Amino acid sequence: MINVLNVAEKPSVAKSVATILSRNQQHGLRVREGRSRYNKIFEFTYVINGQPCHMLMTSVTGHLMELEFEDRFRKWHSCDPADLFSAPVRKFVPEDKIDIKRTLEEEARRCQWLILWLDCDREGENIAFEVMEVCRAANRYLTVRRARFSALIDREIHEAVQNLVSPNQCFSDAVDARQEIDLRIGASFTRFQTMLLRDKFDIDAAQDDRNLVLSYGPCQFPTLGFIVERYWEIQSHEPEEFWTLNCSHKSDEGIATFNWMRGHLFDYTSAVVLYEMCVQEPTATVTKVQQQEKNKYPPYPLSTIELEKRASRYFRMSSEHTMKVAEDLYQAGFISYPRTETDCFSSRTDLQTIVQEQQPHPIWGSYAQRLLDHGEGLWRNPSSGGHDDKAHPPIHPTKFSAGETGWSQDHHRVYELVVRHFLACVSQPAIGAETTVEIDIAGEQFSASGRKNYLDVYRFESWGGSMIPTYLHGEQFIPTTLTLDSGVTRPPPLLSEADLLSCMDKAGIGTDATMHDHIKKLLDRFYATKDPNTRFSPTNLGEALVMGYDDMGYELWKPNLRSTMEGDMRRVSMGHKSKTEVLETCLQQMKACFLDEVFLVGFMSLAFFT
């Protein structure tokens, strides 16, 4: 029997995996303390591909190591901020995780295998290599293998341990590149901005006042840029008055509201002339009646960004809170891994079994039964959204729940959203009948439309529109109302959280696992505020920072530069570019901006605020 050290990313995951694998084992699950009181060690026996194993399962708590400058560069006044683009950096285990490191070293010395159970995304892969480094330093003869899983359920865990793979160096390198780029760029620009402000206002740098730190982040600033740009668009909007003709007709079947097909006119005199023509000859003649079937297609399988956007739109939950709730549900085994860019299911996924597990539910269980009834004809293989991160499937339910008693309202909401979204994406499109009626009044064209539709399971979406009375081609009637109404053009609304996530996703700012963090940082650093309707406004400080860069002609607040960086890091993760190549390119580009004399002089404009 060989000794196998298993390491998970969190204590709760270690306990879940150990519980699943030890079930029905001869000696059951034994628990003992490690060096860290939060990271216990679970022991049990297990057979991996015919090999009897004495399994030791423990955990880390996220990243085991931190990346930082060497000590002589860590103090703010120790060097010119420009030196930070090339100053030596090191990865080390911080003091608060030394006990976890000691546990790994002690257990690794008496094991022959190391199995990594870290989350199966880029960040998890990087943590896996941190664990490998510590364990191999204690025992260089370890055989290292990787368990790949997307849900903490029996089927997935047993399958993962019987199909171990090699760790992915490219995934880890992509994270190393991002960490170093963000550290160097963030530290250099943050120190420069903050020291300039302190010098300008003669502020003691020793004061421990976080409000005096003007942080710069290569993802954070473009995110702020989206908010400021929309705010400027609203501020610069000049309302313009317009006029439009409105017509309605009431019959025994209801009221039809007809819209002027010209839309509206900005010339009042022209609008009045046309209105008076209609009033003088008000008889309406039906010139067109068109009926057609409309399909509303179900959503694509659920990715992280789509989960965050929909939770914000339907429940007004912040993206940060949504991810915390989703993580809780994942660790409890109720949904699959919630950080995924994938919006298409593999042909190997047993979709019908997932539906079958929802049949007992008192609300949507009957719909799940209808989906599996071939006579109903409701089933449809889900469409592909065209994104596959090669790490995890779309978010989907992994265990039935009729309503866990310990859950908050938000846990129930997110679980229901995941289940209903999954059931919707394996359903036929909703079918609606739409009728369009066009009429002529004194040569002016008006139209009305109405529809009837159904969406059985996805209660979060619906078709608008109302029933429209029956009209025949050539029919004539006198409108019930015919009015000339005025209005003013309106600016677009402030960006909602769903809008902001869409902007970030489209521009390639951040990843599915980090976007909510970048938004939270803007709020924490008081660069932006969020109102009760989840709409963002820049603070004076946030606007001034963007204005300072914009006045100098620098587009560091625009998404282009970071989007290119994120694309390069994706290429590293796919093995198409090396970490060294990407680091050199990105840092040279940013250092050139930093050293530009125009930048150094122009940045003084940022010091106009207090």
26 and 162 both lie in a single domain: yes
Euclidean distance between CA atoms 91 and 326, whole angstroms: 30
Predicted local confidence at residue 212, as pLDDT? 65
210 and 117 both lie in a single domain: no
pLDDT tens digit string along 524-572? 999 999 999 899 999 998 998 888 777 766 667 888 888 888 899 999 9
Q: Is residue 57 part of a domain?
A: yes
CATH code of the domain covering residue 366: 1.10.290.10
- Domain ends where: 143, 166, 189? 166
Lowest mean pLDDT among 260-274, 285-299, 326-340, 539-553: 539-553
221 and 108 both lie in a single domain: no
The set of residues, in sequence order, having a beta carbon less than 8 Å from that of 479 and lying 6+ positions away, is 247, 248, 249, 258, 282, 284, 441
Number of domains in the chain: 4
Q: Is residue 493 part of a domain?
A: no
Which residues constitute the domain of residue 348? Answer: 304-426
Q: Which of 337, 415, 471, 549 is catalytic?
A: 337
- Domain ends where: 125, 140, 166? 166
CATH code of the domain covering residue 148: 3.40.50.140
62 and 134 both lie in a single domain: yes
Predicted local confidence at residue 375, as pLDDT? 73
CATH code of the domain covering residue 578: 1.10.460.10
Instruction: Reply yes or no on whether the pLDDT at 598 is more than 50.
Output: no
Residue 58 in contact with residue 40, Cβ under 8 Å? yes
Euclidean distance between CA atoms 31 and 157, whole angstroms: 20
In the predicted model, what is the mean pLDDT of residues 256-273? 96
Predicted local confidence at residue 402, as pLDDT? 82
In the predicted model, what is the mean pLDDT of residues 123-152? 96
Predicted local confidence at residue 390, as pLDDT? 79
180 and 111 both lie in a single domain: no
Q: Is residue 333 part of a domain?
A: yes
Separation in Å, CA 188 to CA 159, 171, 178, 179, 554: 46, 26, 15, 14, 16
Predicted local confidence at residue 589, as pLDDT? 85
CATH code of the domain covering residue 272: 2.70.20.10
pLDDT tens digit string along 201-213? 554 444 444 456 7
46 is catalytic: no
pLDDT band at 430 (very low <50, low <70, confident <90, very high): confident
400 and 510 both lie in a single domain: no
92 and 228 both lie in a single domain: no
Predicted local confidence at residue 597, as pLDDT? 46
213 and 70 both lie in a single domain: no
Predicted local confidence at residue 77, as pLDDT? 83
Predicted local confidence at residue 451, as pLDDT? 58
Question: What does pLDDT average to over the chain?
Answer: 90
pLDDT tens digit string along 45-61? 999 999 999 999 999 99
Q: Is residue 495 part of a domain?
A: no
Predicted local confidence at residue 552, as pLDDT? 66
Q: Is residue 160 part of a domain?
A: yes
In the predicted model, what is the mean pLDDT of residues 359-383? 90
pLDDT tens digit string along 454-505? 366 778 877 666 678 889 999 999 999 999 999 999 999 999 999 999 999 9
159 and 176 both lie in a single domain: no
Strand extents, DSSP E, 275-418: 284-296
Q: Is residue 462 part of a domain?
A: yes
Q: Is residue 290 part of a domain?
A: yes
31 and 155 both lie in a single domain: yes
293 and 309 both lie in a single domain: no
Residue 382 in contact with residue 389, Cβ under 8 Å? no
Q: Look up residue 489 and give its two tokens.
A: 């053009």
35 and 131 both lie in a single domain: yes
Q: Is residue 191 part of a domain?
A: yes
- Domain ends where: 426, 441, 473? 426
